């Protein structure tokens, strides 16, 4: 398989002293949906800036679909669509013009650029606002504008730096659907996010970066299986007025109607229900508590810092 | 070249965008020089000029027209590019171009195209205003057009370089105030350097604007303090030097790539 992106010993030092990237190696296969995770200041945006040629690297190599940034810069640029973390359009330009002009910079004839701009602005629910100047859009609309702009030259690799920051839940979900469709069409997607739920929902592979180093690079599934314990929330049919203890289970009573339970992955839920039924506790519904990944993430960052 | 067509589209996009930028705000870009120049014509040409009489055998009003047109072209070409480039950098939308496969040379030429068109638009507007005060004479059309074109290109390039170095909005006013305006006033817009004492005549010769104003005046009126070919050589020499410097800065990413 071809590599959509390969980073080799990529290093960035700001002002001769701040080591933002300490020689990272990373490969993303063509067609992948890849998450780059890390706490604030980890170096995600720096890496993306270098890949998109907005930041000069200090050392190392970047290959985009085999094109080395040092030798085939423009060929590499043609493959990339960038949605940066900070808004970087002209606030006083109308939405449609921003997207069409970006097509123009990529050498797409005006009519074709207009056609594509219409397609993507419609898909991203911005067509109605096409004549507004960008400044008059809401924060979430501005993010979607940057996505439409990044797609107008139909790049093979779409890189999004925190695309859903400041976007409400409903729009976020529709953005996820949109990105999945784009990915299914064969475009490789790399995104950074602070929402682990987002990475879990969308991505097949994941790398975790901290202090300029990759501390984990694996399948999403592999990462999740690292969790030995899962936490479930149980909604009860009848109020439970006192603490309940079941030998062999870790239970917490959250309130009269809610219990939380930690279950070892290999154990399964059957025994729990048998024991609960014996105690006369009826469970109405059960859901998975979603912060598992967050916990894991915190653990990994802490472990790597301790090491 | 395989990407010739794509590059042509990219260049056109930049030039159209740059042109729309100043055309949309014509009240701030095209109108003010028309008003300023009207004042110059009325005060210097009309009121004071009538007492001066003739300069180099030409009615004073007619003498200052070429210089004033040139002055408007120079300042407008310069300020168009410096402010457009600086605000693109400041608002980060220069990144739209930087992530695109446009050669740096074309980004430069695109911005120059905008400055050139603004310079020429204002030049034509001021010329129209001048018709109220002075009949339009064109001694040599080819010289007139080529000098105004080359001068607008030269100062667009200078504006671009200023924009690359500028870090604050104040920085884009420094060069126009402390360099451009004095050199223009001392560049023979209002007088023939033959009026100056010999020493100051020699000093004046290091002012490049003097050559442009005189070459342009030659095109319109057929009189000049300077040799025309030396003027061309100086203008073209500056254009080449500034272009190469601008290209070097862009390739290095000075001020735009971290
Ligand atoms: N232009 C710059 N000059 C100096 N230091 C910088 C610059 N840009 C980033 N840094 C530093 O590099 C480090 C990595 O920053 P970067 O923006 O890549 O982090 P990030 O992972 O994107 O963080 P976040 O999640 O907050 O966006 C930080 O310590 C930051 O302060
Ligand atoms: Mg960031």
**Closest protein CA for atom 7 of ligand 1:** A14
CA of A212 to the centre of ligand 1 (A): 10
User: Do B67 and B221 form a contact (C-beta atoms < 8 A)?
Assistant: no
Whole-model pTM above 0.80? yes
Percent of chain A with pLDDT over 90: 56
Nearest chain B residue to A78, by CA: B101
Chain B residues touching A106 at Cβ < 8 A: 6, 10, 100-101
Mean pLDDT on A241-252: 80
User: Do A42 and A211 form a contact (C-beta atoms < 8 A)?
Assistant: yes
Residue whose C-alpha is closest to residue B82's, from B237, B257, B255: B255
Name which of A78, A90, A104 is nearest B101 (Cβ-Cβ): A78
Looking at the CA of A195, which ligand is closest? 1
User: Do A108 and A116 form a contact (C-beta atoms < 8 A)?
Assistant: yes
Mean pLDDT on A111-123: 96
Q: What residues does each domain of chain A span? A: 3-224, 229-306
Name which of A82, A104, A149 is nearest B13 (Cβ-Cβ): A104
Chain A residues touching B90 at Cβ < 8 A: none
pLDDT on residue B100:
96
Percent of chain B with pLDDT over 70: 99
Q: Does the beta carbon of A46 lie inside 6 Å of ligand 1?
A: yes
CATH pick for A229-306 out of 2.70.150.10, 3.30.70.1560, 3.40.50.2000, 3.40.50.11540 = 3.30.70.1560
pLDDT on residue A226:
66
pLDDT on residue B1:
57
CA of A84 to the centre of ligand 2 (A): 9
- What's the CATH number for A3-224? 3.40.50.300
CB contacts under 8 A, B 6-45 vs A, are: 6-7, 9-10, 12-14, 17
pLDDT on residue A61:
95
Separation of alpha carbons B174 and A235, rounded Å? 70
**Closest protein CA for atom 16 of ligand 1:** A43
Separation of alpha carbons B138 and B221, rounded Å? 6
Question: What is the pairing mode between strands A67-68 and B54-55?
Answer: unpaired
For a mutational test of ligand 1's pocket, the pick from A46, A196, A212, i.e. the residue with the most ligand atoms closer than 8 A to its C-beta, is A46
Separation of alpha carbons A122 and A217, rounded Å? 36
CA B63 to chain centre: 19
Q: How high does pLDDT run on average in chain A?
A: 89
Q: Does the beta carbon of A42 lie inside 6 Å of ligand 1?
A: yes
**Closest protein CA for atom 3 of ligand 1:** A14
List all residues 6 or more positions away from A9 whose beta carbon is below 8 Å from its beta carbon: A23, A24, A25, A59, A60, A61
pLDDT 10s digits, B216-258: 999 999 888 888 999 999 999 999 999 999 999 999 999 888 8
pLDDT band at A293 (very low <50, low <70, confident <90, very high): low
Percent of chain B with pLDDT over 90: 62
Nearest chain B residue to A90, by CA: B93
Chain A residues touching B3 at Cβ < 8 A: 74, 107
Residue whose C-alpha is closest to residue B244's, from B142, B104, B66: B104
List all residues 6 or more positions away from A21 whose beta carbon is below 8 Å from its beta carbon: A10, A11, A12, A43, A46, A47, A50, A57, A58, A212
Lowest mean pLDDT among A50-54, B175-179, B236-240: B175-179
pLDDT 10s digits, A134-183: 999 998 899 999 999 999 999 999 999 999 887 888 888 889 999 999 99
Lowest mean pLDDT among A290-299, B8-17, B45-54: A290-299
Q: What residues does each domain of chain B span? A: 2-252
Element (H, E) at A260: strand A258-264
CA of A38 to the centre of ligand 2 (A): 9
Separation of alpha carbons A52 and A121, rounded Å? 23
Classify burial at B111, counting beta carbons within 10 Å of its beta carbon; exposed 0-12, middle 13-18, buried 19 or more: buried
pLDDT on residue B2:
67
Partners of A264 in beta bridges: A229
Judged against a pLDDT cut of 90, whether residue A199 lies above it is answered with no
Question: What is the pairing mode between strands B58-59 and B54-55?
Answer: antiparallel
């Amino acid at each position: 398989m071809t590599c959509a992106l390969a980073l080799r010993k990529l290093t960035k030092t700001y002002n001769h002293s701040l080591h933002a990237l300490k020689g990272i190696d990373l490969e993303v296969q063509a067609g992948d949906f890849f998450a780059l995770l890390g706490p604030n200041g980890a170096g995600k945006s720096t890496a993306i800036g270098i890949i998109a040629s907005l930041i000069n690297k200090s050392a190392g190599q970047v290959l985009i679909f085999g094109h080395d940034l040092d030798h085939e810069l423009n060929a590499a640029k043609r493959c990339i669509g960038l949605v940066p973390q900070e808004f970087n359009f002209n606030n006083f330009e109308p939405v449609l013009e921003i997207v069409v002009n970006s097509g123009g910079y990529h050498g797409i004839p005006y009519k074709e650029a207009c056609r594509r701009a219409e397609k993507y602005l419609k898909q991203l629910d911005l067509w109605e606002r096409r004549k507004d100047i960008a400044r008059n859009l809401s924060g979430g609309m501005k993010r979607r504008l940057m996505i439409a702009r990044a797609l107008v030259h139909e790049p093979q690799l779409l890189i999004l730096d925190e695309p859903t920051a400041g976007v409400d839940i409903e729009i976020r979900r529709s953005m996820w659907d949109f990105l999945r469709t784009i990915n299914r069409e064969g475009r490789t997607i790399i995104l950074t996010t602070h929402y682990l739920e987002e990475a879990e929902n969308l991505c097949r592979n994941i790398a975790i970066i901290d202090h300029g180093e990759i501390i984990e690079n694996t399948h999403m599934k592999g990462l999740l299986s690292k969790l030995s314990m899962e936490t479930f929330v149980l909604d009860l049919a009848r109020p439970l007025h006192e603490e309940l203890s079941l030998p062999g289970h870790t239970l917490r009573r959250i309130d009269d109607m809610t219990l939380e339970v930690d279950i070892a992955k290999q154990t399964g839920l059957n025994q729990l229900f048998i024991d609960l039924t014996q105690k006369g506790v009826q469970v109405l519904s059960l859901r998975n508590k979603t912060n598992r990944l967050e916990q894991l993430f915190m653990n990994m960052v802490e472990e790597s810092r301790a090491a | 070249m395989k990407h010739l067509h794509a590059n042509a589209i990219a260049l056109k996009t930049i030039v159209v965008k740059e042109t729309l930028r100043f055309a949309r705000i014509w009240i701030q870009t095209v109108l003010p020089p028309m008003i300023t120049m009207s004042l110059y014509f009325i005060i210097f040409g009309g009121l004071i000029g009538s007492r001066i009489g003739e300069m180099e055998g030409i009615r004073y009003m007619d003498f200052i027209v070429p210089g004033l047109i040139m002055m408007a072209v120079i300042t407008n070409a310069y300020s168009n590019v410096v402010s457009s480039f600086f605000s693109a950098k400041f608002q980060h939308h220069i990144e739209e171009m930087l992530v695109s496969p446009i050669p740096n040379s074309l980004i430069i030429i695109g911005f120059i195209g905008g400055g050139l068109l603004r310079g020429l638009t204002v030049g034509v507007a001021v010329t129209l205003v001048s018709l109220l005060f002075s009949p339009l004479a064109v001694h040599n059309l080819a010289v007139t057009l080529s000098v105004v074109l080359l001068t607008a290109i030269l100062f667009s390039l200078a504006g671009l370089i200023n924009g690359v170095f500028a870090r604050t909005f104040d920085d884009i006013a420094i060069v126009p105030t402390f360099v451009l305006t004095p050199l223009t006033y001392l560049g023979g817009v209002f007088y023939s350097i033959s009026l100056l004492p010999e020493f100051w005549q020699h000093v004046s010769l290091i002012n490049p604007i003097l050559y442009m104003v005189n070459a342009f005046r030659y095109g319109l009126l057929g009189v000049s303090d300077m040799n025309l070919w030396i003027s061309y050589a100086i203008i073209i020499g500056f254009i080449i030097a500034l272009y190469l410097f601008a290209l070097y800065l862009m390739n290095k990413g000075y001020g735009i790539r971290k």
